Amino acid sequence: MDRQSGKIVFITGGNRGLGFETAKRLGSLGMTLLIGSRKLSNGQLAVNQLQALGYNAETIHYDAHEPRLIDAVCKHIDDKYGKLDVLVNNAGILLEQVMGKNSSSSVSPAVLEKTFQVNVFAIVALTQKLLPLIKKSDAGRIVNLSSILGSHTLHSMKNSLIEPAKAFAYNASKSALNAYTIHLAHELRNTSVKVNSAHPGWVKTELGGPDAPMEIVDSYKTCTRLATLDSKGPTGGFFHEEDTLPW
């Protein structure tokens, strides 16, 4: 894993949950960690923990609800590092009940707008702005935190594990994010940049809730794998750990 040493990674929402676990694992591989946080004080607490482990880390003010911050994020990374090796689009929101209720006929325009702003529009805007810096890397990697709940194939299958989980705004936002992964990977197919969607699992985070089967400490695996792919690794795919998921 020495090939990861010295690489620069920006993780949105990296101050807690699976973003923080991913940061710890990538830090252990020698990457410099840029932790995007809505509140700088929360980001600094995470950075303090990462530095105590011996990792290079700093926090950057990033809020997916505030598109105006994107220019400042890009300028800071460009001025200080001149490139970006890995972008982990981890920040996301869930505003609906997931299991046992179909929200398709009742979800409000406000919930749809807020969900898509964070889970899709902000990711596209941030990625587009940072892409010139990612292209300066010898092996740029973009990891989009999706969800198995974005799979049209599994949602349309009778008796699939996710059939009861019909939170329309959230699910549709992850489907849209998957579409962005496919399209961006196609555009960048002749470059050294790889773009993939990650389903980390159902994790006991604030978003996943206490009934989730996966502990936070195990949530880093898919993101870490996709962030550290070698030149023969896949692009334009949808993965959970080593498994390929259906769109």
Residue 243 DSSP label: E
CATH label of the domain that carries residue 135? 3.40.50.720
Q: Which range marks the domain in which residue 34 is found?
A: 2-244
Q: Virtual CA dihedral for 98, 16, 55, 228, nearest 10 degrees?
A: 10
The model's pLDDT over 24-67, given as tens digits with 9 standing for 90+, comes to 999 999 999 999 999 999 999 999 999 999 999 999 999 999 98
Count of the separate structural domains present in the chain: 1
Q: What is the mean pLDDT of residues 108-121?
A: 97
Q: Which amino acid is at 36?
A: G
Segment 100-123 shows an average pLDDT of 94
Which of 55, 62, 170, 220 does the annotation list as catalytic? Answer: 170
The C-alpha atoms of residue 11 and residue 62 are separated, in whole angstroms, by 10
In the chain, the percentage of residues whose pLDDT exceeds 90 is 79
CB 34 within 8 A of CB 10: yes
Answer whether 184's CB lies under 8 Å from 223's CB: no
Q: Per-residue confidence at 215, pLDDT binned at 50, 70, 90?
A: low
Picking from 175, 165, 189, the residue whose alpha carbon sits closest to that of residue 144 is 175
pTM of the complete model beyond 0.85:
yes
Give residue-wise pLDDT tens across range 129-146. 999 999 999 999 999 999
Which pLDDT score, from 0 to 100, does residue 97 have? 86
Beta carbons within 10 angstroms of residue 163's beta carbon: 12
Residue 209 region by backbone torsions, left for phi larger than 0, else alpha for psi between -120 and 50, else beta: left
Tokens of 35: 């932790």
Helix (H, G, I), strand (E, B) or coil at 61: strand
Residue 170 is among the residues annotated as catalytic for this protein: yes
Beta strands in the chain (DSSP E): 8-12, 32-37, 57-61, 86-89, 141-145, 194-198, 238-240, 243-244
Residue pair 194/59 in contact (Cβ under 8 Å)? The answer is: no
- Gap between the Cα atoms of 227 and 85, Å rounded: 9
